[in-house]
Amino acid sequence: MKEFPDVIAWSIPAFVLLVVLERISYLLHRDDDELGYAAADTATSLAMGLGSVFTDLLWKVPIAAAYALLYALTPLRVAEVWWTWPLILLAQDLCYYWSHRGHHVIRILWAAHVVHHSSQRFNLSTALRQPWTSVTGWIFYIPMILLGVHPAVVAFAGSVNLLYQFWIHTERIDKLPRWYEAVFNTPSHHRVHHASQGGYLDRNFGGILIVWDRLFGTFAPEGERCVYGLTKNIGTYNPIRVAFHEYASIARDLRAAAGWRQRAGHLFRSPGWQPAPTGPLPATAAPPLPSASTAAPGGSAG
């Protein structure tokens, strides 16, 4: 059985140290437009990250079993030699792009991912604000398994991708050289991804590379000052509410839905979707209320 180091677990002490160093840097110098840290927000991010370490262990068992079954069924095999590793990392990054994009435009997936976007600040601790219900993302990597990439290799490549993304959660780094910004995901690109303005919504989904966004039409450069968080912020630091608030919102919409078509819409359409009115509105009636979702109609925050 193949084994690779758990790069995320080994990196946790470095993550915490870098968060502390960034916090100290704000005490020494802080630009007027930088939000910096807030104790309650940071504590929530750390609590979400710690909780995800344990919940991920639970989800890994059925996911590993599903991957192992699919790998046993495919006749293809990809050898782990020096020249295949760049291709494997490239394929994983492409799958990550579609997974990330799917988690923004399909509400039941957004219910998990919204956790990562729930902070109204943007610093290294935000990178640690991870969901506790990451149960469906594995589906997007099935093509790699069917092409013969060993499940352990897929998991390792995913850890490398996640490790890269830690450092891009910061306001302390301005735009990098143009050639780097053109190819790779950077703090500037990722600030846009976490912004809640309409022109920034559902942009810059890349993990390591930003070229997928440029190729598939989801790229937006950083221009106006980013306003972080959700289009409708949840106003709580309670980790339980942060983890499950969107599931509760979905449950309310499902209870109020008129039929299975509407229920399917609340689950699988965009986070801001609402069914059209079934009849003419009275002349004095108010327009339909927006979705209870924390995302904007037709898209999602982030």
Strand, coil or helix: what is 243? helix
For residue range 118-149, list pLDDT tens digits in order.
Answer: 999 999 999 999 999 988 899 999 999 999 99
pLDDT for residue 284 is more than 80: no
Structural domain includes residue 20 = yes
Structural domain includes residue 196 = no
pLDDT of residue 296: 41
Quickly list DSSP for 63-87: HHHHHHHHHHH--------TTHHHH
For residue range 89-110, list pLDDT tens digits in order.
Answer: 999 999 999 999 999 999 999 9
pLDDT for residue 280 is more than 70: no
pLDDT of residue 276: 85
Place of tokens 């897929």: 154
Contact assessment for residue 274 and residue 296, using Cβ atoms and an 8 Å cutoff: no
pLDDT of residue 145: 98
Place of tokens 């509760």: 248
Query: What's the pTM value of the predicted model, to 2 decimals?
Result: 0.90
Report in angstroms the alpha-carbon separations of 97 from 13, 158, 166, 232.
Answer: 27, 12, 16, 25
Strand, coil or helix: what is 176? coil
Q: How far apart are CA 100 and CA 302, in angstroms?
A: 11
* Residues written for the chain: 302
Structural domain includes residue 172 = yes
Secondary element (H or E) of residue 102 = helix 84-105
pLDDT of residue 281: 56
Residue 287: band (very low, low, confident or very high) from pLDDT cuts 50, 70, 90:
low
Number of domains in the chain: 1
Structural domain includes residue 67 = yes
Structural domain includes residue 66 = yes
C-alpha of 97 from chain center: 10
* Structure tokens that stand for 202 in this block: 């559902």
Contact assessment for residue 242 and residue 198, using Cβ atoms and an 8 Å cutoff: no
For residue range 12-48, list pLDDT tens digits in order.
Answer: 999 999 999 999 999 999 888 889 999 999 999 999 9
Structural domain includes residue 232 = no
Identify residue 110 by its one-letter amino acid code.
W
Identify residue 6 by its one-letter amino acid code.
D
Structural domain includes residue 137 = yes
Contact assessment for residue 119 and residue 184, using Cβ atoms and an 8 Å cutoff: no
Domain containing 144 equals: 7-180
Structural domain includes residue 108 = yes
Q: Which has the minimum average pLDDT: 143-147, 197-201, 245-249?
A: 197-201
